[in-house]
Each structure stands twice: as C-alpha cells, then as structure tokens.
Copies of this chain bind each other. A is one copy, B any other.
Amino acid sequence: MSTAPQKCVEPDATTIEALSDDQVATMTKALGHPVRLRIVRLLSERHTCVTGDLAAQFPLAQSTVSEHLRVLRDAGLIQGEIEGVRTSYCVNVAALAALKAALGSL
C-alpha cells in the first residue's frame, strides 16, 4: 500500500493572506470534528497520505472518510492530487498558517 513515490503540491507558505471571518469560520468548522481534526494531524505527521490509508485509520466507511476529506478540501485546509488510481492528500500549509494567524488575534 502506497509505495509509489508520492508527491503533493506544497504551496509556498509565503503567500499568507488575511482571511475573512467567514473563511475562518469555515476552516474552524471543518476542524470542529474529531475525525477531521485527526485527519489533518495525520497528514501533518505523514506529510502525505492516500485516501485508503487514511480511511483505514478509522472505524468508518470509506465513503464517510471521503466525505470528511471533501469538507476539509472545500475549506481549503488540505488538497488532493490524483495519482493514477489513488488520490494523495496533503495539508495546505499556507491555509493552515493563515488560520493560525487569524486565530492569533483572538
């Protein structure tokens, strides 16, 4: 499983833009679920991971994990890259940095 050379576009973390309240709310809402929080944590540790390996970490149906990935992707916190038959996900470091910056002002 996942022995292929996985690469996932790492956006340069220098382009940090200020986020609107709605954007911040969308991101924090996306993180506001134990499974999604754990997914981000896993991706942060492993740097990158394919859907199947991710789904195997939870006692959930594959479709459910895929849905969580979609929420995180829509929020801009992660991004997926199709690699043949699989999809590799990685955290969007720029977005995460922007979120931290926004929360820092609280």
Contacts and interface: CB of A to CB of B under 8 A. Distances in A.
The secondary structure that dominates the A interface is helix
Interface in A13-70: 21-22, 24-34, 36-38, 40-41, 44
Contacts of A96: 106
Contact of A34 (B21, B31, B99, B100): B21
Contact of A32 (B28, B41, B105, B106): B28
Contacts of A90: none
Contacts of A21: 34, 37-38, 41
Interface residues of A, number: 27
Contacts of A85: none
Contacts of A24: 31, 37
A21 to B, nearest CB: 5
Given A96-B106, A106-B41, A25 B31 contact: yes
